[in-house]
Structures are given as C-alpha cells and as structure tokens.
Structure 1
Amino acid sequence: MPMPMPLHTPRPRLERLRADHAPALLAFERENRAFFAASVPDRGDAYFAEFEARLDSLLAEQSAGVCHFHVLVAEGTGEILGRFNIVDVTDGTADLGFRLAEKATGRGLATTAVHDLLTLCTTTYALTTLHAAAATTNTASRAVLTRTGFVPTGEEVMLSGKRGLVFVRELTETAAR
C-alpha cells in the first residue's frame, strides 16, 4: 500500500549565505546549469573551477555590507533550491538577482522568497529601493518581479547578449510585507 502524502510539506527557508552552504550550493549550481543558461547568463567553466575562492570573495563582500547573499534551503534535507542576492548596496539602493532550481519552479517559492527578502531589505538592511533586470524571454522571473511589486522602468539592458528589462521596487516597511 502506498504511503500517504503529507498534508503539509515544510516550507523552504531563506537563509543568509554561509561557508557551510558550499557543498549544497555547488551541487545546486551544477545540477541546474543548463536550465539556468536557457534564461540567465551562464556562469562559465571558471566559476566551477574556482568555486571555493569565489565563495570566499562573496562572503567577504557580505561581511563588508556591500552585498547580502541568501539561499533557499529545503527543510530537512539542506538542499539548496534557490539563490536570492542583494548586490551593489549603496545609499539605500541595491540590485536584486535570483535563480531557482528547475525542480522547484511553479510552486510560488520564488515569489515567497522575494517577499521574505523585501522584508529583510527594510527591517535589516535599511534599503529603500531595489532594482532588478530580467531577460525579455525570462517570463518566470518577470512574473515574480511583477507579483512582488516591481514595476518596469522602461529601460532596456543587454544580459549576456539577450535583451532585458529593468524593474524597480520602492521599499517601505509596510509595502515590503
């Protein structure tokens, strides 16, 4: 007789990136590389060859307060399902970037994680404005941005040879929730 499905699957949690995330983070990037390359710039072979040094550099930037890196971690397994990064923090403004594992798409996880991150931006990181960019072909990321209150600025950018759109989100403590 098959085991019944649990009524409630634990919600993944957004965690600030730490050194001990390294093995799961590398596995996440490797397992999803081809999926990501279809819609966001590929990290390239050097990223994987120099992963530990790159992670150390990111953690140093985070310690300096220039960036805030987060991972979406599956409850119980520690598997990383996504990355949500706040980069180039300057005078209350920063840029948002995110990527979600292929197997985690379509469940609202990215939208929920971005909402959680918006709260952190106002309550912990003292940010007032976030910018993001998404390729015009990346309908999933554009939908997440729209659902979380980002609006297109009308500015276009090139993202690894793909046309992209810039979005902005003004932050207030009540609007982030």
Structure 2
Amino acid sequence: MSVIGLTGGIASGKSTVSRLLAAHGFVIVDADIAARQAVAKGSEGLRQVETVFGPEAIKDGEMNRSYIGQQIFHDEEKRLALNGIIHPIVREIMEEEKQSALAAGKPVIMDIPLLYENKLEETVDAVWVVYVTKEVQLERLMKRNDLDKEAALARIASQLSIEDKKERADVVIDNNGTLLDLERRINEIVAEYYKSH
C-alpha cells in the first residue's frame, strides 16, 4: 500500500476530501490533530512550551493559544522555538499512525496543510492537491472564518499559491463545484488508485 500526501490551500475543502477518502478505506493521518496531541494536557510537549514561554503559556492546564499566537506572530525566533518543540513530536505521532496503517495493509493519506511549504513531498509516494480557484477560496474563507476581504487575502498569501500546488500535484482534486461533483471526482480517483495498487 502507498502513502499519499494530501494538501491544498486554506478553505479548499481538504477536510471534506479527507472524510470522503476515509469512507473509501483510506486511513487519514492528520497533521492538525497530531499538532493538538503534541501539546495536549499533561503532555511533554506542553511542559516544554511552558518552559520556553513561561507560565502565561498555560491556561486551565492547556496551551493558551491566544497568548502563544501573540508571542509568535511578530517574533520569528519565538515561532521557530515553538516549531522546534511541536514539529518533532508531530512527526513521531504521524509516523506511528502511518506505520500501523501500513502494517494493517491500508492505504494512508497524510493530511498535511503545509506539505510543500515544509518540503515534505519527498516523504510520500504521491501528492494529491485539493484545488479551488483563488476566487472560490477567498469567498469560502471569508464565509467560513467570518473575515473581511483583506484579512482573508492575508491568510491566503501566507501559503504557497494554490496554482503552484496544482502544478506540482500528482493528482488534482477539483473542488470548485458542488459536494456531488466532489464525490464523483473522489470516486474516479479512488477507482483509479485501487486499480493500480
């Protein structure tokens, strides 16, 4: 069985695609979930965050996300320090999940929002990109996160452009249409995948 890296732009519909793929028997290893586990209550990761960022970094036994967010937003050094704590733990969690799925003979989807930005394409057998046009992305992000145009554009600009990701993809999952369109596309991709594996 192989390991697929799933990525896309912000608000491109990656979570929906993951859910649909899981229904087809793929094991989803989600970087965002692993990142939350890395600093879960009582974890070693959380203890390290407190050591580096001080007691204000913890609120009710959990990571104080808004405080940490303010700390790292304008300070590259602090952002790198946080990544230095979280990334190795995330990699370990994801590697464990991946290996146990492969051992069970299941195909694996590594759901990694910043796959290209973090140069992780070499760690997977193929990359599937969930694609929407920039206009659709902007509209969905503004609606989903209740953002004005400027704030939404700033978030989109912080990632590699969706067009670049599309160019580099092994498989493009077009999500500009309806949910039904998306389900049809996923069915095609999955049929193709199982035929060749």
Taking structure 1 as the reference length, what is the TM-score of the superposition? 0.30
Return the structure number with greater relative CO, CA threshold 8 A, min gap 6: 2
Q: Which has the higher strand share?
A: 1
Of structures 1 and 2, the larger Rg is shown by 2
**Greater helix fraction, Structure 1 or Structure 2:** 2
- Normalised TM-score (structure 2): 0.28
